[in-house]
Structures are given as C-alpha cells and as structure tokens.
Amino acid sequence: MKNWTSAEFAAFLEGDGTGLAYFYTPLCGTCQVASKMLEVVSSLFPDLEIGKTDLNYAPDIAEAYEIMSVPCLFLIKEGKVAESIYAFQSVPYLLEKINTVIK
C-alpha cells in the first residue's frame, strides 16, 4: 500500500484509475486490524493499486466524499467510487467485493 496525499488521491481518480483507496487514522484500533487485512489483500492482488490516506491530514476528502467513520475503503473503478466499505468483516468478504466490483 502506498501512502497517498489528497492530491495523489485526486490524481488517481482523474487518471481513471482502478483500485482501492483506504482511509484511516493512526489511533483507531479497528483501522489497525483493517490495515492487516488489506496487507493480505495486497499480497493476493499484487497488480491492484492500493493507496492509504490518514484522514487527519485529508479533511477535504472526508468532507467531499462524506466519509462518516474510519476505517473506510473505496472500491474505485475507472476513476469513480463504485462502493464504500466501512465494516471490513473478513478477508474473504473483501476479496469477494473486489472481485464483484472492480475485477
């Protein structure tokens, strides 16, 4: 996972990118679990672009996309947010969502 700034996230969308955007805060315990789950996803989909952004430094994204809580995962297909996930549930759940939405 690459660390993305607000500008890098915007550039990914403008470039019609397909991948995942993960939003978190460092003190969130659930976010730490979600990060580990996304590391597994990343190893299973090595060609899938995955960016992560600390929302403490990107309030503009939180406001523009009405992110209600963290962790939050955007499934992005061709520059458009296809789905938002707040409850990560499990790695198999995430894999199923990725396969149905952006693969």
* Calpha distance 55→78 (Å, rounded): 23
Per-domain residue ranges of the chain: 2-101
The reply to whether CATH 3.90.1150.10 applies to domain 2-101 is: no
Residue 101: per-residue pLDDT:
86
Mean pLDDT over each residue of the chain, to the nearest integer: 95
- The phi, psi pair for 21, rounded to 5°, reads -125, 120
Q: Render pLDDT for 25-58 as a digit per residue (tens, 0 to 9).
A: 999 999 999 999 999 999 999 999 999 999 999 9
Q: What does the pLDDT read at residue 102? A: 81
pLDDT tens, position by position, 87-102: 999 999 999 999 998 8
**83 pLDDT tier (thresholds 50, 70, 90):** very high
pTM to 2 decimal places: 0.94
